[in-house]
Structure 1
Amino acid sequence: MTAETRGTGETVEVGRDADAEAGRTLLPVATPREAARKAWAAFAGHRAPLALAGVMFALSGLAGLVAPVVFGRIVDAVTGSAEGPGGPGGSASASALVWWGAGAIAVAAVVELVAAWASVTFLARAGEPALARLREEVVEVALGLDHEVVEKAGEGDLLSRAGDDVRVLADALTKVVPLLVRSVVAIAFTAVGFFALDWRLGVAGLLTLPFYAMSLRWYLPRSGPYYRAERAAMGARAEALLTAVHGSATLRAQGLAPAHSERVGHASWRSAAIGLSVWNLLTRFGQRTNRAELIGLLLVLGSGFFLVRGDLGPAVTVGAVTTAALFFHRLFNPIGAVLMIFDEVQSAGASMTRVAGVAQLRTAAPAPTPAPGAPAPLVIEGVGHAYDAGRPVLADVSLVLEPGERVAVVGASGAGKSTLGQIVAGRIAPTAGTVRLGDVPVAVHGVAARPPVVIVTQEVHVFAGTVRDNLTLADPDAPDERLWEVLEHLGSAGWVRALGGLDVVVGEGATALTPAQAQHLALARVELADPQVVVLDEATAEAGSSGARDLERAAARVVQRRTALTIAHRLTQAEAADRVVVMDGGRVVEVGTPAELVASGGHYARLSAAWHA
């Protein structure tokens, strides 16, 4: 664990993140090599613009050498020195050389400007599609993650990677990478120019490198932990904010808002404190960089003084030393840029490893399997599950649902009903047992465009867009006639027409739908997707007393001709089922028709009596 003591007296720990302290299992982070491979793979198909960008960066670097060389020639001409560094000789007058040099500098400036613009343009043409591809891959993988994995990591960790980290990479692509490449090219070409003037001047310039190296050696070991901690702290801050927003009503009702506000403030300040410590470290690094620049310039000018006098071997001209000094002065910005953007490079690198870590969670798609020719039974065999080791919520659940059968699962809160529904739908991988549709595991079926098992829960989302957009998510090719047919079948066409039809924009910032209307759209998507099996878990809970009948009628129509597993929170749902499964403590304790279970006098009979009473 690394700690930094700030001027306020507070010690900021950067080796420990808040998520780890909270016991969360964060999503994986890729190694730098894996992240580099992922970044290079993202450029596939866009490497020609990348190569052109490299050529333009090189041209810009060459054009930048013109001005120091021309000034050196002018100095030699004015001082009457012998042959300048590649100059035209003593026959050219000083005034003519000045005009010639001014024109050369002007042309070089235009070339450098155009090349710099072209380099950034070509880099954007290569990088923006690569970044978009990487972002799409992260979102695609995130959407396919087991929600248990997301819950253990915290939504903030995933959100910060898909949001903050991708934003850092986007900023690096447009700002950091062009500056870094341009600076490295300028340093390389200027170093060659030093030795082209005189190898002794080149050695004098190289003697500065140890001082820059000492600055980096001081900075790098200290900065790395800060940037990793900063990214993790941003994830913890996002998690705290999300919890506050999603649970605001509950927090206010329970009087917990001040305590949670303090938690958000702590997470925000921790992120800010690490950021301030980074800037403090960066300022101290800048002081060491300026010291190296001073030493380097003194070395070049000092050695130039003795070289002009001829004390160190063959003499060089004043113009050559002038060019060397201008070369080194020209390196201030490139070297300073390379060193000073190390924080952004490291931050971008940390973000890339986090983004690549999510992309690595992509699981290999199973080999395609043919869909059954006829509806197949749903087989639940020996299913068990534990969210935490040693604390099972399901144990040895075995059921067979025949094609077209409607089965309701009832039980007290905590009996494991919803967990069973999530496992049947393929949302959770059971820790024991299997779920099959016929002879094929549900997980294999789930990679198809039309999954054979679909779940509808109480928590449904209205996507920003038109009503048509929300419906055609399930069937992009469905014509309007089919959409209206489904809405009529489910009894939803009336309120859709009242809103303005399929083209009305709904969702955040547009027409707001009631919870019951949002559930109607979710059920309509199920009808359009046409799955073999439907799992309903509190799918009608948001209707309220006024809309419960309409929503339950729509749900009943969705499960017609399909195998249905209903997690019943109203006993009326169980009474309409072909069979009822009663769960208690994660186990199946009763199975039978509603009438049979009432007559048996067991768990279901007591629930029924309490409900009707």
Structure 2
Amino acid sequence: MTAAHEDRTGPAEPGTERDRDMSGTTTHDGTDRTLLPTAGGAESLAALRTILHGHRLLAAGAGLVLVVGTGIGLLTAPLLGHIVDLVVDREGPQALTFPLVLLVVVALARGAAGAFGSALVARLGETVLAAVRERFIERALRLPLERVEAAGSGDLVSRVTSDVAMIAKSVRQALPEFTRSALTILLTLVGLAVLDWRFLLAALLAVPVQALSVRWYLRRAAPVYAEHRVATGALQHQLLDSIGGVRTVRAFRLNERHTGLLADRSGAARDVALRGLHIVTGFFSRLNLAEYIGLAAMLGTGFLLVRNGSVSIGTATAAALYFHSLFNPVNAALFLLDDAQSAGASFARLIGVANLPAEPAPRGGSVPADGSVKVTGLGHAYADGRPVLSGVDLDVRSGERVALVGASGAGKTTLAKVIAGVHTPATGTISLGGVDVRELGPEGVRRAVTLISQEVHVFAGPLAEDLRLARPEATDAELRGALDTVGALEWAEALPDGLATVVGEGGHRLTIAQAQHLALARLVLADPPVAILDEATADAGSAGARVLEEAAARALEGRTGLVVAHRLPQAAAADRVVVLDDGRVVETGTHDELVAAGGRYAALWAAWSNSRRTEAAPAPAPAEPTPAAPADRAQSDSALGVH
């Protein structure tokens, strides 16, 4: 059971592309999109503390093991310094045996502790990632569809794919390395102070340059990475629009426009990425300068201290080795700021969704008494000043089957979505079974109304489990009964493993008609009092559409049905036909009554009947080949409400 992704409001006007900042509303194709929120720094830190609160023991254990391993590793430089002193003093080869054995022991102990500590850090990171992902998915699945559509599907998809992937990469690679590097830097500075406090002062001469480099980097990188996340989301949104609606794009000859939009958004994402690369390059050139300053100061200090007898050559050697050993950890820690910036931006985007308020609870404990639907004075607009529905009144009796008919843009799909709770009406009221939808709340509306569109998702897994999404406790007999009701049992049992056949991504691919059969079987299992079919047979072809229309009729038995009519025979078979034009109800009655009235519906029926007679008549052989006119046919179908 799915809802259509968007109402057919036609292509946007050219020449209206513009981008706003990543925290507000972004417009790329003439339609304002209110992006899903991004958490601020304080909000992200609070969420991280909350997640870590239940894993304090694991965090403490990982930190302790890494501290011990890093401390053991720092013994390498003093041991090497001691060996230098032994050589300078000409103690002989036998004096080197014990220090060399200790070097081997230190290396093994450091490796074991480092591996164990890194494993604990990785486990902690994966635990945090799992918690963030679960919070995000739990809230994303409960977002009002109107909110998702306002942001654009690409925004949500980019968060659940690229943002999660960025955090996962940081957790699995950057977090353990950063932790080890930070501890190495801290303990090495302590080791320099133990050797001689003047070595520590010499090493700290590099810190101002490094601090200024980091400040320079952070000020420039943070907005660039946040902008890149938004640009990537915009690109994915356009890819979904252009590829998912490729037939509409071709029918309206919008190929060049959509190609241009893809090129613009791809170029914007590329330009932001190049800006980030330029910033990273400048950052590391500044770090190289800091290394030069620090090492020169360390060697000069060692020379002076050895000359005046304050330290031995071995001690000066150990100090130089300590500082040299800082190169990789410092560069790694600062380099990982690059990943940290990207991961932080992604984490903030996930937390921004995870912290969205829950759906409003029902105002009362009422439940619909039946399947009746009453709409009074309904109005809705996707943009201010451009109403899609105006003053719609509709009264559907329980068990009645009503067809919604009208030309493209008349408001049929919007009316269906508002009744199904996908959109919140701007004005007017809706009652289901005598209960106002505001009292039912979103969850109550979903239990009372099921909306099926032409865009059906087949979930990966056994066919039986896909069906049980509608009713988890359903038995195998009930699954077969639902399939039999909609005429799908024969092909379902003919699958390689019957109802146990794995379908969806990576499994057996269902045809369009079979996928719609599956959606109708879910409808039977869910058994809502009200069902809305929004062009649910539009993609199946003429023969397939007739089969699905029969299946839909059986699925609607015993419940109220609202059908957004793709084919006018669907309207003719309904109990009542409601004709919309420019967002208003202009006619209502049975098929025969409206045809006899000679109004808008009669004109649509006559045009549809004439087009079918023309198709059925044999065409005379032309003197010369006549090219087909797909655009003319598309416009004819569009005039009849075919999309």
TM-score range, shorter chain: 0.7 to 0.9
1:581 Cα offset (Å)? 2.8
Structure 1: which amino acid aligns with 2:447?
Answer: P
Q: Any idea what SS the aligned residue of 2:391 has? A: strand
Report what 1:474 is aligned to: 470
Tell me: CA distance 1:382–1:263, structure 2 relative to 1, closer, same or farther (3 Å).
closer
Instruction: Decide which of 71, 75, 97 is 1:66's aligned counterpart.
Output: 75
Q: How far apart, CA to CA, are the structure 2 residues paired with 1:71 and 1:141?
A: 56
- Answer whether contact 1:381 1:399 (CA < 8 A) is retained: yes
3-state SS in 2 of match to 1:408: strand
Q: C-alpha distance in 1, partners of 2:92/2:206?
A: 34
Q: Which residue of 2 aligns with 1:204?
A: 202
Give the number of equivalent residue pairs.
Answer: 587
Task: Report the AA paired with residue 60 of structure 1.
Answer: G
Q: Are positions 1:410 and 2:405 aligned together?
A: yes
CA contact (8 A) 2:453 2:536 kept: yes
- Which residue identity lines up with residue 153 of structure 1 in the other structure? A
Give matches, 1:48-447, under 5 Å. 48-80=57-89, 95=93, 97-251=95-249, 256-257=254-255, 260-310=258-308, 315-364=310-359, 366=361, 370=365, 372=367, 374-375=369-370, 377-437=372-432, 438-441=434-437, 444-447=440-443
User: How far, CA to CA, are the matches of 2:20 and 2:531 in structure 1?
Assistant: 47
Q: What do you get for the CA RMSD once the two structures are aligned?
A: 3.0
- Distance between the aligned counterparts of 1:125 and 1:459, measured in 2? 39
User: 1:258 Cα deviation (Å)?
Assistant: 5.3
Aligned residue for 1:451, secondary structure, equals: helix
Preserved contact between residue 420 and residue 446 of structure 2 (Cα < 8 Å): no
- The counterpart of 1:26, out of the listed 12, 32, 35, is 35
Question: How far, CA to CA, are the matches of 1:467 and 1:119 in structure 2?
Answer: 44
Preserved CA contact (<8 Å) 1:42 1:131: no
SS at match of 1:463: coil
In structure 2, how many angstroms separate the alpha carbons of the residues matched to 1:16 and 1:609?
Answer: 51
CA distance in 2, matches of 1:117, 1:368: 55
Partner letter of residue 78 of structure 2? V
Letter in 2 for 1:124: A
Q: SS at 1:280's partner residue?
A: helix
Deviations 1:229-284 (A, max 9, x none): 32223223323333342234454566654554454344334433433343333223
| Cα gap change, 1:251 to 1:377, in 2 (>3 Å) | closer
Residue 515 (str. 1) matches residue 512 (str. 2): yes
1:536 paired to 2:536: no
Q: Aligned-pair distance for 1:335?
A: 0.9
Deviation at 1:389, TM superposition (A): 0.4
CA separation in 2, counterparts of 1:345 and 1:96?
49
Give how far 1:169 is off. 0.6
Residues 276/247 of structure 1: CA separation in 2 closer, same or farther (3 Å cut): same
Instruction: Report deviation, 1:546.
Output: 1.8
Tell me the CA shift for residue 163 of structure 1.
0.9
| The 10-residue stretch of structure 1 (57-66 or 432-441) with the greater mean CA deviation from structure 2 | 432-441
What do residues 560-580 of structure 1 show as CA deviations (whole Å, max 9, x unaligned)? 221222223334333443443
Kindly indicate whether the alpha-carbon contact (under 8 Å) linking 1:456 and 1:536 is maintained by their aligned counterparts in 2: yes
Deviation, 1:511, is 3.1
Give me the whole-angstrom Cα distance separating, in 2, the residues matched to 1:32 and 1:292: 29
Distance 1:247 1:364 in 2: 30
User: Is the Cα contact below 8 Å between 2:485 and 2:521 reproduced in 1?
Assistant: no
Q: Give the 3 Å change call, closer, same or farther, for CA 560–251 of structure 1 in structure 2.
A: closer
Aligned-partner Cα distance in 2 for 1:57–1:595: 82
The partner residue of 1:464 within 439, 460, 465 is 460
- Contact 1:15/1:225 (8 A) holds in 2: no
Moved more, 145-154 or 465-474: 145-154
Matched, 1:496 2:505: no
Amino acid in the other structure paired with 1:499: L
Cα distance change, pair 173–327 in 1 and its aligned pair in 2 (3 A): same
Unaligned runs of 5+ in 1: 1-12, 82-92
State the one-letter code of the partner of 2:101: G
- Provide Cα deviations, 1:279-329, integer angstroms capped at 9, x if missing partner: 33322322221111111112122222222334xxx8233333222211111
Distance, in Å, in 1 between the alignment partners of 2:159 and 2:506 is 25
Taking the aligned partners of 1:70 and 1:33, their CA distance within structure 2 comes to: 45
Deviates more, 1:102-111 or 1:242-251: 242-251
Matched with 2:479 is 483
Question: Quick check: 1:183–1:338 contact (8 Å CA) kept in 2?
Answer: yes
Secondary structure (helix, strand or coil) at the match of 2:579 reads strand
> How has the CA–CA distance of structure 1 residues 34 and 100 changed in structure 2, closer, same or farther, with 3 Å as cutoff?
same
Matches of 2:411 and 2:243, distance apart in 1: 28
Structure 1 pair 37–94 and aligned structure 2 pair: CA distance change class (3 A): farther
- Please give the per-residue CA displacement for 1:133-189, whole angstroms capped at 9, x wherever unaligned: 322333343343344443443332222211111111110001111111111111111
Q: After superposition, what is the alpha-carbon deviation per residue over 1:479-537, rounded to whole angstroms, capped at 9, x for unaligned?
A: 21111111112221122223342123333444333322211111100111111211111
How far 1:585 sits from its partner (Å)?
A: 2.0
Query: Secondary structure of the equivalent of 1:447?
Result: helix
Shift in alpha-carbon separation, 1:259–1:581, aligned structure 2, 3 A: closer
**Distance in 2 of aligned mates of 1:449 and 1:439:** 10
Change (3 A) 1:41 1:550: same
Would the alpha carbon gap of residues 175 and 449 (structure 1) be closer, same or farther in structure 2, given more than 3 Å must change? Answer: farther
* Counterparts in 2 of 1:112 and 1:435: CA distance versus 1, 3 Å: farther
**1:441 CA drift (Å):** 1.8
Deviation at 1:339, TM superposition (A): 1.7
What SS does the aligned partner of 2:562 have? strand
Shift of 1:420: 0.7
1:53, CA displacement in angstroms? Answer: 1.6
Post-superposition offset of 1:369: 6.0
Q: CA deviation at 1:370?
A: 4.5
C-alpha displacement at 1:452, in angstroms?
1.6
Query: Are the counterparts in 2 of residues 397 and 587 from structure 1 also a CA contact under 8 Å?
Result: yes
Structure 2 letter corresponding to 1:530: D
Secondary structure in 1 aligned to 2:202? helix
1:474 is displaced (CA, Å) by 0.8
Give structure 2 stretches of 5+ with no counterpart.
1-17, 611-643
Code of the aligned partner of 1:351: S
TM-score normalised according to structure 2 size: 0.83
Which residue identity does 1:527 align to in structure 2? V
1:517 to 1:362, Cα distance in 2 relative to 1, 3 A = farther
Measure the CA separation in 1 of the matches of 2:552 and 2:462: 23
Q: Kindly provide the amino acid, as one letter, of the partner of residue 472 in structure 1.
A: R
Deviations 1:367-392 (A, max 9, x none): 59656384263332332100110010
Partner of 1:89: none
What is the CA distance between 1:19 and its match in structure 2?
Answer: 5.1
The answer as to whether partners of 2:421 and 2:446 remain within 8 angstroms in 1 is no
Letter in 2 for 1:435: I
Secondary structure at 2:517 match in 1: helix
Opposite residue 484 of structure 1, the aligned amino acid is R
Other-structure match for 1:3: none
Q: How far apart, CA to CA, are the structure 1 residues paired with 2:152 and 2:338?
A: 27
Deviates more, 1:574-583 or 1:411-420: 574-583
